[in-house]
């Protein structure tokens, strides 16, 4: 790797942003610039954002959930962004988080949800978490995901994490195999535990075994690390 000349600055991470209408999009763009990112485009529609993602491959994509086609459009909203930029880190701006949006966030490996009621300093901090390959989610995301507690309701990504866990792999090993960050693995595990009503890796693996008919559910307390 070629060393950077002394006195030069590392390039700023790039970001594409979108919110309903040009005025809202420009306002979001200013906030993102203030957080220290280089904004490559501000867009008022999801289609325009997707074109920008395909063209410039930004490091971070920040989109207002109001661009969805209603609550039922949550999955498509994030699935289309993920397809356009498989390596981009997705951030959702939302007034509130319901079950469909929370599940889509997890299913498509979004890195953060920032509520519109969030103070600007906290929003900046959340974006910096994303830039440094970490996640940032309000408590309302996990609360929305607690609505159902059936292994059949886990997303495909959650099932992949659970299957790797059941094989005895560490968080670091799971991250490498699934091409996600360790922090994302930890977030998935918290969601899995909440969804299944368990408190450790052993009980989560047992729940997977029960789902597949491989092992009986054993009464009693298992001991194991929470994450």
Q: Distance (Å, rounded) from C-alpha 93 to C-alpha 81?
A: 14
Distance CA 130, CA 61 (A): 10
Q: Does domain 14-145 have CATH number 3.20.20.140?
A: no
152: Cβ contacts below 8 Å, ≥ 6 apart: 211
Q: Do 157 and 109 touch, CB atoms closer than 8 A?
A: yes
Q: Tally Cβ neighbours within 10 Å of residue 75.
A: 17
Kindly report the CATH number that applies to the domain delimited by 151-212.
Answer: 1.10.10.10
Burial class (CB in 10 A: 0-12, 13-18, 19+), 168: exposed
> What's the pLDDT at 77?
95
| pLDDT score for 216 | 36
C-alpha 119: how far from chain center: 20
β-pairing, 38-43 vs 60-64, is: unpaired
What's the confidence (pLDDT) of residue 115?
A: 96
pLDDT tens digits for the chain (227 residues)? 444 555 556 688 999 999 999 899 999 999 999 999 999 999 999 999 999 999 999 999 999 999 998 767 999 999 999 999 999 999 999 999 988 898 889 888 899 999 999 999 999 999 999 999 889 999 888 888 766 555 566 778 888 999 999 888 999 999 999 988 888 888 888 888 877 777 788 888 887 776 655 443 333 333 344 44
Please indicate whether the domains covering 14-145 and 151-212 agree at the CATH topology level: no
Locate the domains of the chain by residue range: 14-145, 151-212
């Amino acid at each position: 790797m070629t060393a950077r000349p002394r006195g030069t600055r590392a390039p700023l991470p790039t970001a594409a942003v979108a919110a309903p209408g040009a005025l809202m999009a420009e306002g979001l763009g200013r906030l993102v610039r203030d957080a220290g990112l280089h904004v490559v485009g501000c867009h008022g529609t999801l289609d325009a954002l997707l074109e920008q993602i395909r063209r410039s491959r930004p490091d971070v994509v920040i989109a207002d959930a109001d661009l969805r086609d209603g609550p039922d459009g949550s999955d498509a909203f994030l699935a289309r962004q993920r397809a356009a930029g498989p390596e981009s880190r997705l951030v959702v701006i939302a007034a509130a988080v319901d079950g469909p949006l929370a599940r889509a966030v997890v299913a498509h490996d979004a890195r953060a949800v920032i509520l519109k009621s969030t103070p600007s300093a906290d929003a900046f901090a959340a974006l910096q978490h994303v830039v440094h390959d970490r996640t940032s989610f309000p408590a309302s995301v996990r609360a929305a995901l607690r609505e159902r507690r059936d292994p059949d309701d886990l997303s495909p990504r959650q099932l992949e994490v659970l299957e790797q866990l059941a094989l005895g792999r560490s968080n670091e090993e799971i991250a490498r195999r699934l091409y996600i960050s360790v922090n994302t693995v930890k977030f998935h595990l918290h969601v899995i535990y909440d969804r299944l009503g368990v408190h450790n890796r052993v009980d989560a693996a047992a729940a997977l075994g029960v789902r597949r008919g491989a092992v009986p559910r054993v009464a009693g307390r298992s001991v194991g690390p929470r994450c």
